[in-house]
Amino acid sequence: MREFLTYLVNGLAVGCGFALIASGLVAVHRVTGVVNFAQGMFAVVAGLSASWLLGVGLPHGVSEVAAVLIATMTGLLTGLIAIGRRGTTPQSSLIVTLGAGVLAYAVEIFVWGDQPRSFPGLPGSLTVAGVGVQRQHLLVIAATAVTFVLLSAFFGRTYLGKALSACASNPYAARVVGIDVTTMGLLAFAIGGLLGGVAGVLVTPLRPISFDSDVTLIVNGFAAAVFGALTRPVLALSGALLLGVAESLAAGYGYAAYQTEIALGLMLVIMVVQSTRRATVLEEST
């Protein structure tokens, strides 16, 4: 039982990392209709920059915030090349973000080398109800909770957030009432970068990150996001937690080698089941 709880907390922390990636995907997809393949890259950029800034001698806190800002800028740049040109279809944009991810490989190797990097997170562990829990895990879970609350407040309560939601539900109507859809799309990419950055900074102390970690991150993030059909953040969050816990339990009970198969197999099953419920006509007309 005690083991189970440890694996559970571990899995929740890992799942929170996926949830932040997934929420970035959802933010970009809702507003622009683009599936941002570079979303995992934002986390990698943030993780690598944080470890580099800490190595240079900046204190904890400052380094992490700076790394998240770098990721946000990366998100904005990716948005500029992916949707900045008029008339780029969402599918072309997907391929462009794929290109942006590969371009980031070149930059990352150039700046930080091709070896995995990590940095220490919160040291020590707490004992909660007789179960030892690493503080970093708790930090990840708490930070994700705060991020999701802030996100829902932003989208639901602020004018800007509502403008973003308007673009998401009907771009044409949004343009008619004077909302600049492209600017909002760029803003969504910046938010995606921010969320990816937060994920990267939180997860890197748990698992060392290297330039090509983005594939695993994006595929897991996408797997979480499909739970919410790429539009609903809360379902994406629950999907991510389920995924993280499933992976962690699999690893804990001796199937560590089959983590990838379990997580991705789960995603495939869910996508196929979802697709049988949708009519082709509806999908093609949107």
275 lies in the binding site for another protein (CB under 8 A): yes
Specify the DSSP element, H or E, that contains 131: strand 131-134
189 lies in the binding site for another protein (CB under 8 A): no
Beta-bridge partner residues of 132: 127
170 lies in the binding site for another protein (CB under 8 A): no
Q: Can you tell me which of 43, 54, 100, 194 binds another protein, judged by CB under 8 A?
A: 100
2 lies in the binding site for another protein (CB under 8 A): no
Instruction: Give the integer Cα–Cα distance in Å for 11 and 243.
Output: 8
Q: 């204190």: which residue's tokens?
A: 59
Are the CB atoms for 192 and 36 separated by under 8 Å?
yes
Our CB check for another protein shows the closer of 100 and 202 to be 100
Q: Can you tell me which of 58, 69, 98, 143 binds another protein, judged by CB under 8 A?
A: 98
Question: 3-state SS of 5-48?
Answer: HHHHHHHHHHHHHHHHHHHHHHHHHHHHCCCCCCHHHHHHHHHH
126 lies in the binding site for another protein (CB under 8 A): no
105 lies in the binding site for another protein (CB under 8 A): yes
Q: 């380094």: which residue's tokens?
A: 63
Catalog residues that contact another protein under the rule CB under 8 A: 35, 81, 85, 88-92, 94-96, 98-106, 109-110, 113-114, 212, 215-216, 219, 222-223, 226, 257-258, 260-261, 264-265, 267-268, 271-272, 275-276, 280-281, 283-284
